[in-house]
């Protein structure tokens, strides 16, 4: 039940199919394995909800939450800020192969220290994560079987939920810098506001965003995750901007 058949799925139909990095490795698991996972996921979810352990600004893989709820909240906050004559700095962060680099020991320690999952429950999750294998099958030809030392299976029931618990400290990190955020799986939207023609506020906001991003980068490195700099974007959103403000922004 721990062996997965990997089906390479092109992330976008327009991407070059000759580049391996453009494919997402989807794990096809045994039916019985997924039934057991569903039971475990249900009990884990009940534990998180009963003890109020969910990140409220994470919209992925949660009942009554979706990509739509994340977009609606972020857009609403941005439009309200602009209506109040504020500028908004929006930082869009994206991770590379996030599900595939989850460290099992770090995850198990986090389940115990942050979510109170210990004893037999933790031992069950350790059993679930260890001794997993996978192979690729294309056009009737199969690769050799390889052990899986890192990551959670994409295409599994528990994998996405465990990933959310693994990255849960990000929310507290961004709150420490007093920066608004909303998460959707491995997509991170970070945003904050500042006033027009206020050089002091602009400088303080810029420094705050830079410090937050530095802490996020260090946390990612310590937890064996990697930011995809090629897909990371920084946007400044505003209504009509005074001419002197535009000049100041370019000088910065």
Domain ranges of the chain: 3-9+24-237
Reported as a single tens digit per residue, the pLDDT across 88-133 is 999 999 888 888 999 999 999 999 999 999 999 999 999 999 999 9
Q: pLDDT: is 231 or 191 the higher one?
A: 191
Say if CB 151 and CB 95 are below 8 A apart.
no
Read off the pTM: 0.87
| Two structure tokens written together for 228 | 């995809």
Reported as a single tens digit per residue, the pLDDT across 160-185 is 999 999 999 999 999 999 999 999 98
Average pLDDT, rounded, for the chain: 89
Q: pLDDT: is 227 or 211 the higher one?
A: 211
Nearest to 99 by CA among 6, 182, 230, 213: 6
Nearest to 81 by CA among 201, 237, 202: 237
Does residue 214 surpass a pLDDT of 60? yes
| Two structure tokens written together for 153 | 């299976």
Does residue 247 surpass a pLDDT of 60? no
Q: pLDDT: is 163 or 198 the higher one?
A: 163
Does residue 248 surpass a pLDDT of 80? no
Q: pLDDT: is 11 or 151 the higher one?
A: 151
In this structure, of 6-20, 61-75, 97-111, 211-225, the range with the lowest mean pLDDT score is 6-20
Does residue 77 surpass a pLDDT of 70? yes
Say what percent of the chain tops pLDDT 70: 95
| Two structure tokens written together for 114 | 């942050």
How confident is the model at residue 241, as a pLDDT?
60
Q: How far apart are CA 30 and CA 245, in angstroms?
A: 60
**What is the 3 state secondary structure string of the chain?**
CCEEEEEEEECCCCCCCCCHHHEEEEEECCHHHHHHHHHHHHHHHHHHHHCCCCCCCECCCCCCCCHHHHHHHHHHHHHHHHHCCEEEEEEEEEECCHHHHCCHHHHHHHHHHHHCCCHHHHHHHHHHHCCEEEEEEECCEECCCEEECCCCCCCCCHHHHHHHHHCCHHHHHHHHCCCEEEEECCEEEEEEEEECCCHHHHHHHHHHHHHHHHHHHHHHHHCCCCECCCCCEEEEECCCCCHHHHHHHHHC
How confident is the model at residue 242, as a pLDDT?
53
């Amino acid at each position: 039940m721990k062996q997965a058949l990997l089906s390479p799925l092109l992330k976008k139909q327009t991407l070059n199919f000759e580049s391996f990095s453009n494919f997402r490795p989807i794990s096809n698991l045994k039916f019985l394995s997924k039934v057991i996972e569903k039971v475990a996921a249900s009990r884990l979810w009940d534990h998180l909800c009963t003890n109020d352990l969910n990140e409220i600004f994470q919209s992925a893989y949660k009942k009554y939450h979706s990509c739509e709820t994340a977009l609606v909240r972020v857009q609403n906050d941005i439009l309200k800020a602009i209506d109040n004559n504020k500028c908004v700095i929006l930082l869009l962060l994206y991770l590379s192969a996030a599900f595939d680099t989850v460290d099992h020991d770090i995850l198990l320690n986090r389940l115990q220290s942050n979510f109170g999952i210990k004893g037999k429950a933790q031992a069950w999750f350790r059993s679930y994560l260890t001794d997993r294998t996978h192979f690729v099958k294309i056009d009737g030809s199969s690769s050799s079987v390889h052990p899986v030392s890192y990551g959670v299976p994409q295409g599994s029931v528990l994998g996405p939920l465990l990933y959310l618990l693994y990255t849960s400290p990000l929310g507290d990190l961004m709150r420490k810098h007093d920066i608004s955020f909303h998460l959707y799986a491995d997509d991170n939207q970070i945003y904050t506001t500042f006033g027009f023609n206020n050089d002091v506020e602009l400088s303080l906001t810029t420094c705050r965003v830079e410090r937050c991003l530095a802490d996020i980068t260090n946390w990612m490195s310590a937890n064996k995750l990697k930011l995809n700099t090629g897909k990371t974007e920084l946007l400044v959103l505003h209504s009509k901007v005074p001419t002197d403000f535009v000049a100041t922004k370019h000088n910065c």
